[in-house]
Amino acid sequence: MDKKVSETGGCVKMKNVILEDNYYLTRSVNNRERYYRIVLNINLFNEYVVSRIFGSCSKSKPTRIIDDYFPTKQKARLLIKKLLKEKLAKGYVDSQ
């Protein structure tokens, strides 16, 4: 499938991509809206990729994108579970 990523107002939209898991969290810090997106996907080498995309919704590009690679879906989901626990404790809320 063809991957196309477009960015609008800090919110990343992915078109024509099969996503295993997709979490979109937001929180307000000093009257600024922040977002944190966690995406689980499979690459061409059958590795599971956990992508963390985060930044300010007022910016046109994300502050940072971090990719972690795992041989199994279970190991990838362990990282996602840990990240969600940390972010929810920090004050992020699920915005899906």
Structure confidence by residue, pLDDT tens digits, 54-91 = 999 888 788 899 999 999 999 999 999 999 999 999 99
User: What dihedral angle (degrees, nearest 10) is formed by the CA atoms of 65, 2, 40, 92?
Assistant: 50
Strand partners, 38: 23, 52
**pLDDT score at 21:** 84
Model pTM? 0.74
DSSP string for 52-77: EEEEETTSSS-SEEEEEEESSHHHHH
Rg of the chain's alpha carbons, rounded to an integer?
Answer: 14
In angstroms, rounded to a whole number, what is the distance separating the alpha carbons of residues 29 and 26? 10
